[in-house]
Amino acid sequence: MLEEITVAVAELKFDTIRKLCEEALKQGHKPMEVVEAMRKGMEEVGRRYERGEYFLPELMIAGDTMKEGMEVLQPYLEKGEGGARAKLVLGTVQGDIHDIGKNIFAMLARASGFEVIDLGVDVPPERFVEAVEREGAAVLGLSCLITPALPTMRQTVELLEKRGLRQKVKVILGGAPLTEELGKKLGADAAVNDAVKGVEILKGWFPKD
Ligand code: B12
């Protein structure tokens, strides 16, 4: 079933994804297993794009297909613990408009009791820093999927430092190209390519009292 979902995303089967996700949940698969199956399909879409078999329109249909599937899963992912552990400002960095992974992380963080202020996509460093200051956020989460936009993550951290806010806020980076090592180079406290791991890190930073 999960494999079928991966193939459906890779083959851009927008019309069947909803049914497949519902079926997988009925069969007892966890919502995050279904998300992961779709994410694998997206990886295959990326490979086909690199090989010149898919073009921009196919990337767009793939994005819509995964969003359609996420609509089925959203209510299950949002079922949460309630209460607020900490405030998190989140967004996709300037130069990048990918938001599916960011939105998944936002849902999971909310379900774990974090208040998420989502600034959307293509967010310049200045807007992130302003929001952290205005909201008194304890965490800044930055998402990035394309390598040319990675330096903006570093610039955002540097601007936090300049404004004297870096000590007050934990910075977590996420997105397919991120590794722990790269995260360190970019000046973050953590970097992951998996939303579940990201939320585990947040919970470690802000345990429930
Ligand atoms: C769908 C897609 C699109 C859609 C995006 C739709 C949308 N609303 O997001 C559209 C069509 C808009 C698009 C556009 C482009 N894309 Co595109 N796209 C993809 C594709 C196929 C899937 C991305 C995706 O959603 N994956 C599924 C999600 C669930 O995975 P994820 O994002 O990694 O998120 C997970 C984790 O990383 C984590 N996470 C994510 N963010 C955060 C944040 C935090 C704080 C935390 C803790 C965790 C976390 O949680 C998620 C769940 O575990 C990828 C292929 C790939 N291999 O990723 C290419 C890909 C990312 N795109 C690529 C490119 C080149 C482009 C374009 C430049 C194409 C063009 N010529 O115009 C443009 C970019 C425009 C721009 N300025 O941003 C390249 C990037 C190459 C690179 N290394 O730079 C890729 C890798 C394809 C490829 N193999 O070449 N794309």
DSSP 7-65: HHHHTT-HHHHHHHHHHHHHTT--HHHHHHHHHHHHHHHHHHHHTTSS-HHHHHHHHHH
Class of domain 87-205: alpha beta
Q: How far is the CA of 83 from the centre of ligand 1 (A)?
A: 31
pLDDT value of position 85: 84
Q: In the chain, where does DSSP find H-type helix?
A: 2-10, 14-26, 31-50, 56-78, 100-111, 125-135, 150-162, 180-185, 195-205
Cβ atoms of 89 and 145 closer than 8 Å: no
Q: Which atom of ligand 1 is closest in space to residue 196's alpha carbon?
A: 53
pLDDT tens digit sequence for 42-97: 999 999 999 999 999 999 999 999 999 999 998 888 877 666 789 999 999 999 99
Q: Which residues line ligand 1 (CB under 6 A)?
A: 39, 42-43, 45-46, 49-50, 56, 59-60, 62-63, 66, 95-102, 104-105, 141, 143, 145-147, 172, 174-177, 192-195, 198
Fold of 2-78: 1.10.1240
- Count CA atoms closer than 13 A to 173's CA, side-chain side: 28
In 3D space, the residue among 89, 63, 78 whose CA is nearest the CA of residue 32 turns out to be 78
CA separation (Å) from 45 to 36, 41, 66, 98, 105?
Answer: 14, 6, 11, 14, 21
Torsion angle, alpha carbons of 178, 159, 106, 63, to 10:
-60
The domain segmentation of the chain, as residue ranges, is: 2-78, 87-205
- Count CA atoms closer than 13 A to 31's CA, side-chain side: 17
3-state secondary structure of 120: coil
Closest CA to ligand 1's atom 88: 46
Of 90, 139, 146, the one to substitute when testing ligand 1's pocket (max ligand atoms within 8 A of C-beta) is 146
pLDDT in tens, the chain (209 residues): 999 999 999 999 999 999 999 999 999 999 989 989 999 999 999 999 999 999 999 999 999 999 999 999 988 888 776 667 899 999 999 999 999 999 999 988 988 889 999 999 999 999 999 999 999 999 999 999 999 999 999 999 999 999 999 999 999 999 999 999 999 999 999 999 999 999 999 999 998 76
Task: Please check whether the two domains, 2-78 and 87-205, share a CATH topology.
Answer: no
Cβ atoms of 55 and 23 closer than 8 Å: no
Q: How far is the CA of 104 from the centre of ligand 1 (A)?
A: 13
| CB atoms inside a 10 Å sphere around CB 3 | 10
| CB atoms inside a 10 Å sphere around CB 102 | 25
pLDDT value of position 209: 66
